[in-house]
Amino acid sequence: MKNAAIFGASGYTGAEAVRLLLEHPQIRIKALSANSRAGEAYASVYPHFSGQDLPETRRISDIDLNDIDVVFSCLPHSTGQNAIAAALESVETVIDVSADFRLSDGQAFERVYGTPHQHPHLLSGRVYGLTEFARDALPGARLVACPGCYPTCTLLALLPGIEAGLIADRHIVVDSKTGVTGAGRKATLGLHFSELSDGSHAYGIGNHRHAPEIEQELRERDHCSSISFTPHLVPMNRGMISTCYVELTPGTTLETLRDSYANRYYADPFVQVATDDSVPQSRHVRGTNLARIGIYPDRVEGRAIIVSVIDNLVKGSSGQALQNYNLTQGWDETLGLSATALFP
Amino acid sequence: MKNAAIFGASGYTGAEAVRLLLEHPQIRIKALSANSRAGEAYASVYPHFSGQDLPETRRISDIDLNDIDVVFSCLPHSTGQNAIAAALESVETVIDVSADFRLSDGQAFERVYGTPHQHPHLLSGRVYGLTEFARDALPGARLVACPGCYPTCTLLALLPGIEAGLIADRHIVVDSKTGVTGAGRKATLGLHFSELSDGSHAYGIGNHRHAPEIEQELRERDHCSSISFTPHLVPMNRGMISTCYVELTPGTTLETLRDSYANRYYADPFVQVATDDSVPQSRHVRGTNLARIGIYPDRVEGRAIIVSVIDNLVKGSSGQALQNYNLTQGWDETLGLSATALFP
Amino acid sequence: MKNAAIFGASGYTGAEAVRLLLEHPQIRIKALSANSRAGEAYASVYPHFSGQDLPETRRISDIDLNDIDVVFSCLPHSTGQNAIAAALESVETVIDVSADFRLSDGQAFERVYGTPHQHPHLLSGRVYGLTEFARDALPGARLVACPGCYPTCTLLALLPGIEAGLIADRHIVVDSKTGVTGAGRKATLGLHFSELSDGSHAYGIGNHRHAPEIEQELRERDHCSSISFTPHLVPMNRGMISTCYVELTPGTTLETLRDSYANRYYADPFVQVATDDSVPQSRHVRGTNLARIGIYPDRVEGRAIIVSVIDNLVKGSSGQALQNYNLTQGWDETLGLSATALFP
Amino acid sequence: MKNAAIFGASGYTGAEAVRLLLEHPQIRIKALSANSRAGEAYASVYPHFSGQDLPETRRISDIDLNDIDVVFSCLPHSTGQNAIAAALESVETVIDVSADFRLSDGQAFERVYGTPHQHPHLLSGRVYGLTEFARDALPGARLVACPGCYPTCTLLALLPGIEAGLIADRHIVVDSKTGVTGAGRKATLGLHFSELSDGSHAYGIGNHRHAPEIEQELRERDHCSSISFTPHLVPMNRGMISTCYVELTPGTTLETLRDSYANRYYADPFVQVATDDSVPQSRHVRGTNLARIGIYPDRVEGRAIIVSVIDNLVKGSSGQALQNYNLTQGWDETLGLSATALFP
């Protein structure tokens, strides 16, 4: 049994980590941090955990890390770098759900997040945990940076085609939609029920921080063209869609593309590729670590549209974090993650 | 006072026409058709009209058109062509909300809708009623084909830039999102509350019938490149977003583009252009005939993202129909359409 | 034309007052107060008013009341008493949407709201504006206290039966459900979209402040038995239901009861009584000043269940406020309030 | 390992049974019936099961019951009696989720459901599976009738107080609210997304079939007074609330009542009693077999309000079915039912 601490357990990604770890046969939750609500029973922070045997929340500084094997860090970006660096001194593994270690160098981080990285030397050694593309690097990894929700959803849709040379190195449009939990648990007017229900809108148009992260990974695969990226907020709790508009390399047919994806993900328990015209729906992966991908002919010749859906809190965040941790330990990656979608 | 008949009053666009006409100072609702529910009080078809003085529903064939000045036809596509052709024999004006007269020739119609047009000779004389671009043709028009909801939302976002030569004649991506009323009032599993709430999905990928309609209008403005178009269903009643990804012509700046749109729509009471970075939200036009448009720099140089929102049932359907009718009569186009959005 | 000021225009009831007054042919909006956002364009507080010609927001103290004929006060309870007392020195009419003048004496107010009333002498002269039961008192009234949303919805369901002696003076259960706008526009965790959607809960069980208000009005009609009252929050923007469980006086039949309600409200433009088994739905009065009432046989002999629905922001708040103001002026009470429900 | 067949797997309760059984360590799903969709892959009936190893759907008559140990019957009421009677000839256990075996005699069934019971002789031997009140009868039971969702939610709230003599044998009001899945997966206009979202309404007022079922169980505990019962449909997928208004026996205090409930359910893993003023929310039990109960002083002396929430598809249906089956087998009742709520 491994002992886990969850940093930032008062946010939605933290609560989702708790939910998933409670199902895990090899992990025991030993500590929960929630600086602003330290000292409370966790069930008072999240009543749906009432009845569960969980430690009360503490400040991070009050957690004895000697006891801990793995930290799942769910802190807001830019706030957990020191805590993670410190944790790496004593715990075996840190799985970071935030944006802090996703970009591969400190300058990129500063450019995108507007503040210098506190521990840039850690960036080179971290594993970028898009699980299906990080299998070789994960076993034994000590610091895993889990991709953002949009990058996870989008890269799963794009990388097989790019790696196989089927998607041309041309401008790609990524239009994404997310559920409201993606915006966190802040009590702001913009997240008020009546301000959000029965409507939708784009945000972060042209400047969302996940776009450089997506491009970083594309460039690593020699796709050097830029992407256009627009996220939208949809009145639902969970769920994410990336609709990706790509140009195919000459001679690439839809069948080639579909087969290629189906083969690429054949052995991956959490990625399902539709090889027909059925369309993935975010609600059908609700609560699961699944990604579903559909590939369609565009009406414009030589182009395709690739649609990918995930649950932003699971595969887009704490589920992938756990999948990654399973692999650092050499365990079956599905441990704790096998639940069927809660539909409806 | 003009006497109106509404064909297809049992659908959502029909009901919306009734709602709007009830506010109109110059129009009296004289007849409502609903073939499948002929003979019922309209309030039994739509309880929210209870208490309103409205005629009971009839079959179209039971309506005495001699009494009628204008028909608002809200029938499903391909089902109303004969009724409309017949109505044109006796009524002054027909405003068609369906897809039947949108495409400019019968072959295009057959190609897209899979069935021959019954009255192709009527197509050349009809006015394509994207109001803000049809002002010259509307006065006195006898047959107005109201654009589809997606074409309305999208063309309002694209045409000013294309007409002004600011958007390059290159491939455009249009990613759209609609509320559920856009799918009509059919009792199907796919529209069941629990199958739709708390989730979202794309549909009609690469083959939605509104794409050829959009391209028809682009080509009329010498924009000959094709478009990629994907609509998505969002768990909300009303509202539509088109997020349009365009390449700009050399030298075009964001300021030029914004100014151009602001000028183009300056005198239009129902189109609002944001000249700053604020983002239009569909909920803020709920129940109104407004379109709101925002224009943003893409992160890719030389490109822009144009976002347009409407209420799919109003500006995307029966509201624009009424706006068009107002103009056929030489009336103020805002008659019956001045209500503020119902927010929240 | 009368000049209106709206105090507390940054809340949902204030915004709803603005929406309704914009449709009113005899009222001009001259001033909007929003202390915390004074100096902003109103469209920055509420983007759905963008394009409307409205004054910018001010502090109440910066409004020149000499210019104003009527104040619609939409301030939170206990915060507007001084402003209202001051306004009464210079303006003709004050319509208060808050709870401050609903209870008939200062001690009752203090008991329920926990703070002494600043101007208890004004309470005896105010009109309790449950319109359909205040017609005699409204013409010329200078201070009207609009009932709370729950009292409005509930009293419309109970008073006719009580006044007619058909409902026994016995314990009544009132179980109510409200949309989220009823909780105001505060940015609190409890109103976060993801904390509220896809679920429901009771609140204020046994101690909601609207219960004493309901009982005050029952006692005025010599119904001295107490009520049990539980409100529930439902994931919808607007809408309110009161389900009332009553004992009938001996010999009272369902037909008697239905007829009595139908007769009582026969001439009331905003109250509709179903005389059959159809059930009112809150969504069918969305955006309107309507109340719909249904009366049903309980399965327990000698009892009935009366269900009433309103839009909590309209008949439950600013719509009834305007209806009341219309009557103070001797105008048609439907002025500005004739819109059909926005359904769906 | 036990082999299970699920009758009626195309409905929501059937799908929920599948979801739960997939997590169960001792049960293998061997057969799924769905008469109207026989021969389809189950993932085409419910795409969220895509990737799961499940049998294709069949007609009931095509299932070889010799292979089966337990049938979970999720058929619509009145349609499965013959299939269940036949199954009892060959399988060890039948857990019926429908209403067919809930009422204790055939005449009561016919009175309430309007059609004669086909196998009334089976009624006396069946166990009424309100688990927490059927522990003695469940071990070895061959036919378990799972209570309706409303009866489950309501009886859990009422029975401890009644059995302990704390709730007076007087008229009780039960006002309930349910999510839309409670209405099943029928494609009807009344369940259309746009007909249900952003609104709420009562239904079955005074004549819902679950009221006699509730009373049957009350009478078994010598509570002979009748109940008033009104269910309401709330725009959410899952969740149920029963708000129960009761009179207390003389001398009963709130503390007595709370203590009594806490003690009664002390050892029950799926019932949580709040001993403070916190209010249970349906969303906090989403996807779980939990019931949460809160007990509050009414503002009327001598009365209390008891609020109970469940997930209608789990504790209100297939979860309780599985809990019951676990106990028929002498297993830990939480097997397959230990997941935390999916919140948000």
pLDDT of residue A40: 94
Segments of chain D scoring below 70 in pLDDT: none
Average pLDDT, integer, range B36-58: 95
Quick one: average pLDDT of C124-134?
A: 97
Interchain pair A236, B235: CB under 8 A: yes
From the candidates D146, D149, D153, D244, give the one annotated as an active-site residue: D149
Q: Do A342 and D287 touch (CB under 8 A)?
A: yes
Name every residue whose Cβ is closer than 8 Å to that of residue C125 and which is 6 or more positions away in sequence.
Answer: C142, C143
Would you state the pLDDT for residue D13? 98
pLDDT digits (tens, 9 = 90+) for D125-174: 999 999 999 999 999 999 999 999 999 999 999 999 999 999 999 999 99
pLDDT one-digit tens code per residue, B263-281: 999 999 999 999 899 999 9
B183 touches C at CB < 8 Å: no
ipTM confidence = 0.97
B212-227 residue pLDDT tens:
999 999 999 999 999 9
- pLDDT, tens digit, 9 for 90 and up, residues C265-311: 999 999 999 989 999 999 999 999 999 999 999 999 999 999 999 99
For residues D19 and D314, what is the distance between their CA atoms, to the nearest angstrom? 10
Average pLDDT value for residue range B37-60: 96
Residue of B145, B132, B144 lying closest to B99 (CA atoms): B145
Report the first-to-last Cα separation within chain C, whole angstroms: 34
Nearest to B279 among A205, A297, A299 (CB): A205
**C329 C-beta neighbours (distance < 10 Å), count:** 21
- pLDDT tier, C325 (very low <50, low <70, confident <90, very high otherwise): very high
Topology adopted by domain B2-147+315-328:
Rossmann fold (3.40.50)
Predicted pLDDT at A98:
97
Residues of D whose CB is below 8 A from A47: 278, 281, 284
Strand ordering across the sheet containing D240-247: D201-202, D227-233, D172-178, D240-247, D303-310, D291-297, D271-274
- The pLDDT score that the predictor gives to residue B105 is 92
- CB contact under 8 Å between B232 and A245, yes or no, is no
d(CA A258, CA A93): 37
Contact C185 A193 (CB under 8 A): no
Distance from the Cα of B43 to chain D's closest Cα (Å) equals 15
CB C101 within 8 A of CB C76: no
The Cα B146–Cα B128 span in angstroms is 6
Residues 236-255 of C with CB under 8 A from D: 236-239, 241, 243, 245
Percent of chain B surpassing pLDDT 90:
99
Catalytic residues of A: 149
* β-bridge partners, B97: none
Q: Mean per-residue pLDDT for B306-335?
A: 98
Chain A residues whose beta carbon lies within 8 Å of the beta carbon of residue D193:
none
Q: What is the mean pLDDT of residues C104-116?
A: 96
Residues of A in contact with C188 (CB under 8 A): 187
- Is residue C224 part of the annotated active site? The answer reads no
Q: What percent of chain C has pLDDT over 70?
A: 100
Pick the CATH number of D2-125 from 3.40.50.150, 3.20.20.410, 3.30.360.10, 3.40.50.720: 3.40.50.720
The fold of D150-313 is Dihydrodipicolinate Reductase; domain 2 (3.30.360)
Question: B149-163 and B254-264 are packed helices; what angle lies between their axes, rounded to 10 degrees?
Answer: 120
Is the CB of C228 inside 8 Å of chain D's CB atoms?
Answer: yes
Q: Measured on CA atoms in the order C13, C17, C18, C23, is the torsion positive or negative?
A: positive
Confidence of residue C54 (pLDDT cuts 50, 70, 90): very high
Q: Tell me the pLDDT of chain C averaged across its residues.
A: 97
Looking at chain C, the number of H-run helices and the number of E-run strands are 9, 14
Q: Which residue from B318, B310, B321, B296 is spatially nearest to B245, judged by alpha carbons?
A: B296
Q: What is the pLDDT of residues A278-337, one digit of tens each?
A: 999 999 999 999 999 999 999 999 999 999 999 999 999 999 999 999 999 999 999 999
Q: At C226, which amino acid appears?
A: S
Here the tokens at position A57 are 């929340």
In angstroms, the separation between the Cα of residue D198 and the nearest Cα of chain B is 8
Nearest by CB: D48 against A46, A197, A341: A341
Q: Shortest Cα distance from B74 to chain A (angstroms)? A: 24
Enumerate helices (H) and strands (E) in chain A, giving the number of each.
9, 14
pLDDT digits (tens, 9 = 90+) for A177-226: 999 999 999 999 999 999 999 999 999 999 999 999 999 999 999 999 99
Q: Which residues of B touch A176 (CB under 8 A)?
A: none
Instruction: Map out the domains of chain A as residue ranges.
Output: 2-147+315-328, 150-312
* Homologous superfamily of the C150-312 domain (CATH): Dihydrodipicolinate Reductase; domain 2 (3.30.360.10)
Residue B221, pLDDT score: 97
Q: pLDDT at position C86, please?
A: 97
Question: Is A299–B171 a contact, with Cβ atoms under 8 angstroms apart?
Answer: no
Q: What is the pLDDT of residue B338?
A: 93
Confirm if C80 and C309 have CB atoms less than 8 A apart. no
Residues belonging to chain C = 344
- State the pLDDT confidence band at A78, using cuts at 50, 70 and 90: very high
Which chains contact B through at least 3 pairs of Cβ atoms less than 8 Å apart?
Answer: A, C, D
Ordered DSSP codes for B139-203 = TT-SEEEPPPHHHHHHHHHHHHHHHTT-B-SS-EEEEEEE-GGGG-S---GGGBHHHHTT--EE-
Biggest CA–CA distance in chain B, Å, is: 62
The residue length of chain A stands at 344
> How far, CA to CA in Å, does A90 sit from each of A63, A65, C2, C97, D282?
12, 6, 73, 60, 41
Residues 127-156 (A) with a CB less than 8 A from some CB of D: none
- Of the candidates B175, B195, B197, which has its C-beta nearest A175's C-beta? B175
Identify the pLDDT of residue D229. Answer: 98
Among B228, B279, B309, beta carbon nearest to A300: B228
* Residues 48-107 (B) with a CB less than 8 A from some CB of A: none
Q: Which residues of D touch C245 (CB under 8 A)?
A: 173, 175, 228, 230, 245
Higher-confidence position of B275 and B6: B6
Residue A222: what pLDDT?
Answer: 97
Beta strands in A21-156 (DSSP E): 27-33, 57-58, 70-73, 93-96, 127-128, 143-145
Count the alpha carbons within 13 Å of A310 in the hemisphere toward its beta carbon.
28
For chain A, give the mean pLDDT: 97
Confidence tier at C132 by pLDDT (50, 70, 90): very high
Contacts 24+ apart (CB under 8 A), A328-334: A328/A93, A328/A95, A328/A138, A328/A139, A328/A140, A328/A141, A328/A142, A328/A144, A329/A2, A329/A26, A329/A93, A330/A139, A331/A26, A333/A131, A333/A269, A333/A270, A334/A269, A334/A270
Task: With beta carbons under 8 A apart, name residues in chain D contacting B237.
Answer: 193-194, 197-198
The residues facing B292 across adjacent strands are B272, B309
* Interface contact A194-C180, CB threshold 8 A: yes
Residue of B150, B175, B189 best to disrupt the A interface, most CBs of A under 10 A: B175
Strands B143-145 and B172-178: unpaired
pLDDT in tens, D34-83: 999 999 999 999 999 999 999 999 999 999 999 999 999 999 999 999 99
Chain D residues with CB-CB distance to B193 below 8 A: 180, 191-193, 195-197, 235, 237
Q: What is the pLDDT of residue B296?
A: 98
Give exposure, C218-254, as e/b (b: 16+ Cβ within 10 Å). Answer: beebebeebbbbbbbbbbbbbbbbbbbbbbbbeebee
